[in-house]
Amino acid sequence: MKKVLVTGSAGFIGSALTLKLLERGDIVIGVDNHNEYYDKTLKKNRLDRHINHKNYTHIKTNIADCAALKNIFKNYDFNYVVNLAAQAGVRYSIENPSVYVDSNLVGFGNILEGCRENKIEHLIYASSSSVYGANTKIPYSTKDSVNHPLSFYAATKKANESMAHSYSHLYNIPSTGLRFFTVYGPWGRPDMALFKFTKAILSNKEIEIFNYGKHLRDFTYIDDIVEGCIKVLDSPPKKDIAWNGEDPNPSSSLAPWKIYNIGNSDPVELLKCIDLLESKLGIEAKKILLPLQDGDVPNTYADVTDLSQDFAYKPSTTIEDGISKFIDWYLEYYK
């Protein structure tokens, strides 16, 4: 049994991970600020799935609130932390960068301080495929440089990786960053493409398709993401004694710090996904094809070799099955 702090526990990934941790017998302290970035009712309904579980405690607060977070670390005596709380969204970060400073930088700094002061055994935190930015070599590898983010959201995620490394180096805190690749599935985020397209198609409204639908996205089903998170949680990283400062591996360190990609490793063109939505719904979408939007990258494709070698990670949900499960949930949830 583990005692785990999960931040963002009313969020898409956080709620799904919390359910799985409780299912296997762990104790979970959940933190979420229930912000209004998207429908708060959806967050409440996600949370309703586990809020009354005997091993779950829910705290409504913001990780940017230093005093509140200090009290949580002090009073609940957990030894594992999964930080999934963050302001999400590439495009929103172009319009509202200050929100990302508060949550993704100040908030994450508070998480790191809590881990330092309370001798946490393992910190896992959400990074993103967006850190690969202007890179064009695919599949994206954790051995590649990530020095050219194309959005402020991506920049904050890259900063999180660097911040975590400094704490791992200075205070010997085992930390693992997971670069998520286009997570989708039941209970997902309404600002994500498949969710928005489904809503528009059912409402007989036009859908805007950027990059003329030629985007390649490494869509990763929520269950496969959660499986990877739990495998990593159970094995804190050790110092890489083979690490060489003259030829540095960007994904490991002499500190107990590690970075992994977590994706399906099977990218799909966006137009194909829309075809699958149309087929499942039995409705043809009204498409508006538009050029690439600022902040977006044309393709994402995860090289998950390290995660597969270290944890026998192998995503099992095809895009066809995943979209079918998502649509079944959507139709039931929204009646």
Q: Is 153 a catalytic residue?
A: yes
Q: Is 275 helix (H, G, I), strand (E, B) or coil?
A: helix
Q: Is 50 helix (H, G, I), strand (E, B) or coil?
A: coil
From the candidates 132, 153, 167, 301, give the one annotated as an active-site residue. Answer: 153
DSSP labels, 131-197: GGTT--SSSB-TTS-----SSHHHHHHHHHHHHHHHHHHHH---EEEEEE--EESTT--TTSHHHHH
Q: Can you name the residues that pair with 175 across neighbouring β-strands? A: 123, 257
Tokens of 227: 């499986």
Reported as type and span, the H/E element at residue 268 is strand 268-269
Q: Can you name the residues that pair with 4 across neighbouring β-strands? A: 28, 80
Is the four-CA dihedral 14, 17, 23, 28 of positive or negative sign?
Answer: negative
Active-site annotation, residues: 153
